[in-house]
Structure 1
Amino acid sequence: MTASEPVAVSRRIAAPAAAIFAILADPRRHTDLDGSGMLRGAASDGVVAAAGDVFVMRMYHPPHGDYEMNNHVVEYELNRRIGWEPEAGRGHPDTAPGSTAQARWGHRWTYELTPDGPGATVVTQRYDCSQAPEDEQASMEGGRIWVESMTETLKRLDALCTRPSSLRG
């Protein structure tokens, strides 16, 4: 298998790392910052507090319809780094009877927060599919298909942190 290199997008946000991390660690806030348009809301309550936590998100993707993803937190350093590996959940075609697909494909989403002067943070979002099957990596161009959505996500995160009322309806 030829492993893809992770893709990354960074943005400097005029907010302290703790304020940004609080949003990233709260799955109920993820629809506010979602740049992909696929998230429909958190199906579980609570804030991520440690590696090993699992949070469930309701999703929609035209080829799959409505489904859930169980996100296993695999990286957690308070106010510095949070990352999770999605696993197909309720309603996802990979969990259907007779499916031979793996429910957890080796994808990882990570946010790294680096302080950058007083009251500012560089946020880097990474998507790593290097552990996914080669055909999955190819279908996502090694993750490059997500760069536009990742850029939009960081733009929305910036707005949430610097103009909190700008994305609420």
Structure 2
Amino acid sequence: MTDESPYEPVTVSRVVPAPPAAVFRVLANPTRHTDLDGSGMLRGAVTETPVSRVGDVFVMRMYYSEHGHYEMNNHVVEYEQDRRIAWEPEAGRGHPGHGLPGSRWGHRWIYTLSPAGPGSTLVTEAYDCSRAPADERDGMQGGQVWVSGMERTLERLADAVDEQEMADGQETADGEELADEEAGA
């Protein structure tokens, strides 16, 4: 049960020097989330395939000192290709709330992408706990406890997208070189 909340989502924004499609590709791939994690809680992806629609669920391995090792089942609740992706975490295996009523507290992680000039994207990460039970909202200070981690996440996202773009460029260059060799060029 949730209470009506005066809480507004906390947000952090950053311009990433890459097109929205490149940024979205990293965000939609659970195996990249440990590269992005500014909280230090993620330990790896159980789900290895990118999410592609509302209703997808991806599972992440986590660690928090009060709970030890556990999993979170993340339900994709918004998905607009290259524009917006959001998920609601639910307590998974090993979490003390796993299997209990209300183990999906209603908080959301949201990423909104907007073009910010040629080859750049304004990325806004939001944490919205307005639907969560009052004790959860209060325990997270309305999401304020996550702001510094969110800032680190967006820094790491910029680096991860840059690495992905370089790897994609290298794969393309390698493929072109191979095609040139096969064509006798």
TM range (shorter): over 0.9
The alignment's C-alpha RMSD in Å is 1.6
In 2 relative to 1, CA 161–45 (structure 1 residues): closer, same or farther, beyond 3 Å? closer
| Alpha-carbon distance, 1:146 to partner | 0.2
Aligned partner of 1:26 in structure 2 is 29
8 A contact 2:62–2:72 mirrored in 1: yes
Aligned partner of 1:50 in structure 2 is 53
Gaps of 5+ in 2: 166-185
| Alpha-carbon distance, 1:161 to partner | 2.0
Q: TM-score, normalised by structure 1?
A: 0.92
- List per-residue Cα deviations over 1:102-128 (Å, max 9, x = no partner): 210011000000001110000000000
Alignment of 1:1-169 (within 5 A): 1-3=3-5, 4-95=7-98, 102-164=102-164
| Alpha-carbon distance, 1:162 to partner | 2.8
Structure number with higher helix proportion? 2
| Alpha-carbon distance, 1:135 to partner | 1.1
Q: TM-score, normalised by structure 2?
A: 0.84
CA distance in 1, matches of 2:89, 2:125: 15
CA distance in 1, matches of 2:49, 2:4: 38
Gaps of 5+ in 1: none
- Count of aligned residue pairs for this structure pair: 163
Give the letter for the 1:114 counterpart: S
